[in-house]
Structure 1
Amino acid sequence: MNETNAGGVRRRSVEIVVPVYNEAHVLAGSIGRLHAYLEDSFPFPFRITIADNASTDATWTVATDLTLRLPHVHARRLEQKGRGRALKHVWSLSTADVVSYMDVDLSTGLDGFLPLVAPLLSGHSDLAIGSRLHRQSAVVRGPKREFISRSYNLLLKAGLGARFSDAQCGFKAVRTEVFRALAPRIEDTAWFFDTELLVLAQRNGLRVHEVPVDWVDDPDSRVDVVRTAVDDLKGMARMFRATVTGRTRIHAVPRRTTVPQNVTALPTGAATAAEPMEYAS
């Protein structure tokens, strides 16, 4: 995946993880669409990794078939459920410069992917998230999920001092070396994984880049909203205690640098999403 150009200069690379659980009915279509889009328009070497979270249907069979048909698709199977567990496993093993993930339903418009990862590839930022709450985002979803999402992010701001706007959007990326430094402190293996990653990043002075997204709610989503909300509240309480005791501080976090001279720079205009937001703690 780490390639060089004609002049022998290494090109920066990205790994996109798609965590799945019992998604055999949509997996081939979604991965085929993602693969075709990236081959056609993404200017960096990439790998798509399907992370099967102990599916009990034909998901693994479909995934392995896709690895035989599509050159940039790989698959890993975990014998335990948990989106956070899958991301932590694959991201920790990645050889790419930047690791990312998106939901299998591709609810987030793919045109937002290059603006998401470009600030990380250039060395400008450490993490990047898609925000459905950005004023320039175009979001289609029901009032119940909209209320829950906004309420949760308000709780994060009030309880943990969060300065990121949308912790739960399934469209994120992080510099691989940064993730490896944070990973040992990330305890959650399910949905709170994203929030924990972002809080740790903020507590350690890392820069988070936010981009507006086009996002359409998936009516087939099987997330248990009540259980997830309870787990999130427990996670927030744990992170508050960790902050008070100083356990969120990590001394060996890699700091940003500009792109080295032996690495190709970004295409002109690659990081110019419409009014992106970023902060440095």
Structure 2
Amino acid sequence: MSSPSERPGSASGSAVGDGDGDRIRVSVVLPAYNEAATIEGTVRTTVETLAAFLPADAFEVIVAEDGCEDRTPEIADRLTREDDRVRHLHSDRRLGRGGALEFAFDRAVGDTLVYFDTDLATDMRHLEELVTKVDREGYDVATGSRWMPGDEADRPAKRGVPSRGFNLLVRTVLRSSVRDHQCGFKALSRAAFEELRDAVEDEHWFWDTELLVRAQRRGLRVAEFPVDWEPKGDSKVDLVRDVFGMGSQIVRLWWQLSVSPRITRTRTVAAGIVLTVAALALMTVYLDPSAVVSAFEGADPAPVAAATLVYLVSWPLRGLRYRDILTELGYRETLGFLTGAVFISQTGNLVFPARAGDAVRAYVVKARRGIPYPTGFASLAAERVFDLLTITAMAGAVLAGLLATDGAGAVATAVSANVPGVPPAAVSRAIQVAAAIGVVAVASLLFIVATARSNRNYVRKVVSRFSSDSYVDYVAGVVEEFAAGVQTVAGTRGSFARVGGVSVLVWTLDVVTALLVLSAFPTATASMTFAQLVVVGFFAVSVGNLAKVLPLSPGGIGLYEAAFTALVVGLGGVPAAVAFAAAVLDHAVKNAVTVAGGVASMIGFNVSLTDAVDETADLDEDAEREGSEFATDDD
């Protein structure tokens, strides 16, 4: 999402007055990006075609100029001066095809909203039929089709094959009856647009498909009719990036329409519990339960008690970090209250899968301190960003250190000894590759931090050097959102240093807790040097916590143990039963501290965890999507 400084600038062209608006029935939107060579001819042809079957004052043609870098804006301005039926909406940056259409429709006057590609690949003799389907026949949505009997479509193989494959996927996975979802020749009623606009999430090439699928799911009347179509020039659709991107959007929409509505809290909790039990039970297939029990019996309780105290110390640090983040957002609260809020939210993550506890914190600070929900969610996002930054930076630094000190060879030898059949050379190469990736990851994080600390948009600048493709632009937007999380607390160098430093302390104490638990098992530490123990402990905890990010089981139980056990066995040569016992005990210590602190905080704050989850579940976090905006002025 863009910040206010990045919002589109003013629009130019004549706006339709109230008197004209009473007569206009049809609004045609032409999404335009760098169309200087064709836009004038397209606008004139559109006006002439509309005038052939509609009264002269019954339609408008809107050029939705989407961050063009050529003369398209100048040409559109001139066309608006020459014909008051033409309007021009200007954006200073790329919005994406769907984003430009959505905003233009919102400012259009007509009750029938039409759009088509500016290359006029679809024969314009079909325009009257398209308009009539909605304007007179009462369909909610109408679309041309290049794949219905009766059409004439000259489709080169490089376009036809991916198009057929994409439409087959949409029909099969999303249960759509439409044959051609991406034909750029569509119309819809004002009522249908108002019903669908908030539901359609994509802002790029998948917008067309999502519109049609959601319309069908809501029982709206959709008309598809064959059209004559001939490709004109080079398509702006990248057959690798865009098709891949739209494939991921098919999965996203399938999840939202077919899976998400069936996920109730009861089913989610039940599934999480089943998955947890299954994950732990699966370990008994590879481990002798009696050996695990024996390992537990041989554990020294003193290091476990020390581990509990160390982990308990990390919680006020979490509260301190959260206080610094909220302070940057303009809210000052006591350390005790914020530590309790963190305890409650993490307890929620242990009870409910899909990290439902994350949103609980926003409820707690809103209910008990009046901090608005948007601020609560923004602060939580910033905290998560710093967690990821810290884990990635620390992992990258350790990997780079192994590479620089030739420690990769020693680790490779140890792994090969513990995993029969794997040669040291192969492991060493894998570690070297991982170390190189770690260096790149650290460099990328520094780049993101530089973007967050500067008024210059480095991310967009770098991406634009390689491509202006809409999905590359979308990926840049995701990175910008990540940078925005850093920027939340990067207002001053001091606040950034404090939050970053405390994050390092929090995760270091998490690792120390695991090392102390490991030291409680003599068999686990007997074969490792102190340096090996540190490396093994760090990676076991890091990968285990990354596994917990997957919203599959409450608190990541089962996922954490599996990742922890695999790394301790592979890197440290620890017997599997002992490694698993250490993983279970480490996770149990951390969860016990979390639950104890969470219960105490809920009692102290008089907060019900189930009420908090219900409250946050009702929030529509994306209701006010901060999409890009056009601005309009009268000419």
TM-score, scaled to structure 1: 0.81
- Give 1:95's aligned residue: 109
Amino acid of the structure 1 residue aligned with 2:110: A
Q: Does 2:144 match 1:105?
A: no
Partner secondary structure for residue 185 of structure 1 = coil
Aligned-pair distance for 1:213? 0.6
Residue of 260, 265, 268 corresponding to 1:245: 260
**More off after superposition, 78-87 vs 196-205:** 78-87
Distance 1:115 1:43, change over 3 A: farther
CA RMSD of aligned residues (A): 2.0
Amino acid of the structure 1 residue aligned with 2:180: D
Which whole-Å CA distance do the structure 1 matches of 2:36 and 2:88 have between them? 14
- Give 2:222's aligned residue: 208
- Give 2:99's aligned residue: 85
Q: Does 2:29 match 1:17?
A: yes
Which whole-Å CA distance do the structure 2 matches of 1:222 and 1:201 have between them? 26
Residue of 30, 34, 48 corresponding to 2:46: 34
- Give 2:68's aligned residue: 55
Which whole-Å CA distance do the structure 2 matches of 1:52 and 1:186 have between them? 21
Residue of 163, 185, 188 corresponding to 1:174: 188
Partner secondary structure for residue 41 of structure 1 = coil
* Equivalent residues of 1:2, 1:96 under 8 A apart: no
Aligned-pair distance for 1:145? 0.7
* Equivalent residues of 2:53, 2:128 under 8 A apart: no
Amino acid of the structure 2 residue aligned with 1:71: D
**More off after superposition, 54-63 vs 40-49:** 40-49
* Equivalent residues of 2:24, 2:60 under 8 A apart: no
Question: Where is the strand percentage greater, Structure 1 or Structure 2?
Answer: 1
Per-residue displacement from partner, 1:184-229 (whole Å, max 9, x unpaired)?
1111111000011111101101110011111111123232121110
Residue of 141, 153, 161 corresponding to 1:139: 153
How many aligned positions are there?
Answer: 242
Which whole-Å CA distance do the structure 2 matches of 1:2 and 1:138 have between them? 40
Partner secondary structure for residue 150 of structure 2 = coil
- Give 1:117's aligned residue: 131
Which whole-Å CA distance do the structure 2 matches of 1:109 and 1:215 have between them? 6
Distance 1:169 1:192, change over 3 A: same
Residue of 81, 101, 104 corresponding to 1:68: 81
Partner secondary structure for residue 244 of structure 2 = helix
Question: Where is the helix percentage greater, Structure 1 or Structure 2?
Answer: 2
Aligned-pair distance for 1:3? 10
User: Percent identical across equivalent pairs?
Assistant: 36
* Equivalent residues of 2:62, 2:86 under 8 A apart: yes
- Give 1:261's aligned residue: none
Aligned-pair distance for 1:123? 5.1
Per-residue displacement from partner, 1:114-142 (whole Å, max 9, x unpaired)?
11121211253110000011110111121
**More off after superposition, 115-124 vs 142-151:** 115-124
Per-residue displacement from partner, 1:146-189 (whole Å, max 9, x unpaired)?
11111111011111111111100000000012111111111111
Q: How does 1:179-198 map to 2 (within 5 A)?
A: 179-198=193-212
Which whole-Å CA distance do the structure 2 matches of 1:64 and 1:158 have between them? 44
Name which structure has the greater RCO, CA cutoff 8 Å, separation 6+. 1
Q: How does 1:249-260 map to 2 (within 5 A)?
A: none
- Give 1:274's aligned residue: none
- Give 1:273's aligned residue: none
Distance 1:224 1:88, change over 3 A: same
Which whole-Å CA distance do the structure 1 matches of 2:157 and 2:171 have between them? 21
Which whole-Å CA distance do the structure 2 matches of 1:135 and 1:226 have between them? 28
Which whole-Å CA distance do the structure 1 matches of 2:142 and 2:72 have between them? 29
Per-residue displacement from partner, 1:52-92 (whole Å, max 9, x unpaired)?
11001111011111111123111101233211001000112
Aligned-pair distance for 1:43? 4.9
- Give 1:269's aligned residue: none
Partner secondary structure for residue 63 of structure 2 = strand
Which whole-Å CA distance do the structure 2 matches of 1:246 and 1:119 have between them? 32
Which whole-Å CA distance do the structure 1 matches of 2:77 and 2:46 have between them? 16
* Equivalent residues of 1:131, 1:166 under 8 A apart: yes
TM-score, scaled to structure 2: 0.37
Q: Which has the larger Rg? A: 2
Partner secondary structure for residue 102 of structure 2 = helix
* Equivalent residues of 1:117, 1:173 under 8 A apart: yes
